[in-house]
Amino acid sequence: MIKTISAEETYIIRQFVLREGVDLPFKFDGDFNEETIHLGAFKNEKLVGIASLMKTESNLLSFKNQYQLRGMATINEVRGLGFGSKIIDEVILQLKTMNIECVWCNAREIALDFYIKKGFEIIGNPFTVNQIGKHFVMYKKIPN
């Protein structure tokens, strides 16, 4: 099940999955903005996956209404079981109801195949995030 959660509920997974061994913040600017949405995937009432949606534009894209997908992660024990895919499906559904044209993200190199399977495309050149590695800007047009 995917449902809306608070910013604070995302922190434990962000910290231990996305920031493990890395001295970078797991609390994001924009976490508490009115337009920000935090989603959680649950298995037997346990939070196993997260994603945050922030009203932020990429200068690589010409869409007027964009949201950025940030902090997307699933815990190791459920990786590959479809929870990430269900989160993306809910992201698209929610943004579609808000008449958002495009969702984009800074995807880690190891996540490229996942995002491509979900219909995202790479735009621009790869870049490196200090302490984490190579990333790609990826986007998906929200279907009408």
* pLDDT one-digit tens code per residue, 8-17: 999 999 988 8
Number of domains in the chain: 1
Complete edge-to-edge strand list for the sheet that includes strand 133-141 = 2-4, 37-43, 46-54, 66-74, 102-108, 133-141, 121-129
Q: What is the DSSP string of 80-119?
A: TSSHHHHHHHHHHHHHHHTT--EEEEEEEGGGHHHHHHTT
When pLDDT is cut at 50, 70 and 90, the band that residue 25 belongs to is: low
Q: What CATH number is given to the structural domain containing 86?
A: 3.40.630.30
Distance CA 52, CA 68 (A): 8
Predicted confidence band at 71 (pLDDT cuts at 50, 70, 90)? very high
Name the pLDDT band for 136 (thresholds 50, 70, 90): very high
Domain that holds residue 23: 2-141
Taking residues 65-92, report their average pLDDT: 95
Q: What is the mean pLDDT of the chain?
A: 92
- Average of per-residue pLDDT across 77-92: 94
